């Protein structure tokens, strides 16, 4: 089964996941937009949406995790302004907190990379991995033709 571009649907679905992993959300949004507007293959449409939902979810998660150390720094700054007692070295604590959140961001990035590459390999075979929350959201809110 080929797409309207003449490319095998499995390969095009694989490209969606690879574009999402390596090129980012903007390129994937353009690609998914084309697929949703012009292509009729349900697997291809579902794969494009799955890639887009994963990339947007991970981006939001990264943003949330990235902002938390800044909140800790802000709280430390406020306590210094009001001359709260400092029984510990706050710079050292803030540094450790930043290291923890950097490690969490690394784990999220590694998990996203592994998932996107695994989904790309599966897509080449016209298969997928069931991701309960992502698949349920797509099935619930996207009307199938």
Query: Is 93 within the bounds of a domain?
Result: yes
pLDDT in tens, 32-50: 999 999 998 889 999 999 9
Q: Which pTM was predicted?
A: 0.83
Q: Scanning the structure block, which residue is given the tokens 């998914």?
A: 32
| Cα-to-chain-centroid distance, residue 74 | 27
Give domain status of residue 3, yes or no. no
Query: Would you say residue 1 lies in a domain?
Result: no
Residue 83's domain spans which residues? 9-141
Residue 22, CA distances (Å) to 4, 28, 31 in order: 24, 10, 13
Q: Is the residue at 47 inside a domain?
A: yes
* Residue 19 region by backbone torsions, left for phi larger than 0, else alpha for psi between -120 and 50, else beta: alpha
| Tally of domains within the chain | 1
- What is the pLDDT, as a whole number, of residue 84? 58
Q: Is the pLDDT of residue 126 over 80?
A: yes
């Amino acid at each position: 089964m080929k797409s309207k571009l003449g490319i095998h649907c499995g390969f095009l679905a694989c490209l969606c996941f690879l574009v999402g992993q390596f090129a980012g959300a903007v390129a994937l949004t353009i690609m998914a937009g084309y697929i949703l507007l012009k292509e009729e293959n349900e697997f291809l449409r579902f794969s494009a949406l799955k890639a887009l939902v994963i990339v947007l979810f991970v981006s939001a998660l990264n943003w949330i995790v990235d902002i938390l150390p800044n909140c800790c720094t802000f709280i430390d700054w406020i306590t210094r302004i009001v001359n709260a007692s400092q029984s510990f070295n706050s710079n050292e604590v803030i540094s450790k907190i930043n290291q923890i959140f950097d490690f969490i961001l690394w784990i999220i990035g590694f998990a996203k990379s592994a998932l996107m590459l695994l989904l790309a390999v599966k897509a080449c075979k016209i298969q997928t991995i069931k991701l309960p929350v992502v698949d349920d959201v797509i099935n619930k809110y996207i009307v199938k033709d």
